[in-house]
Amino acid sequence: MNVLKTEQRVRVVAALVEGNSINSIVSMTGVSKHTILNLLRDLGCAAAEYHYRNVHGLRVGHLQCDEIWAFVGAKAKNVSAEKKREGWGDV
């Protein structure tokens, strides 16, 4: 099995962190889409494990949240009444 070199992993992760799409990362790095998705899955598992082991017992006095708007399925202006009943729209 082929394994990505550390330099390639760093380039892919840096591109993901910057918000590039998977397809653009394929073009930028030459790494296959499947490989990028596998790396992303592995990173998510590693982050979850780190968080589970190291982040607990926090006392939060002030919390700031940015960009907490999102949408499910489509933006509210583009959702039919039927889809709204199913939970689509702004969240």
pLDDT at residue 7 above 80? yes
For the chain, the maximum distance between any two Cα atoms, rounded to a whole number of angstroms, is: 50
Measured in degrees and rounded to the nearest 5, phi and psi for residue 71 equal: -140, 155
Beta strand ranges found along the chain (DSSP E): 71-72, 89-90
pLDDT given at position 57: 86
Instruction: State how far the Cα of 21 lies from the Cα of 25, in Å rounded to an integer.
Output: 6
pTM comes to: 0.63
Q: What is the pLDDT of residues 28-42, one digit of tens each?
A: 999 999 999 999 999
Mean pLDDT for 16-45 is 96
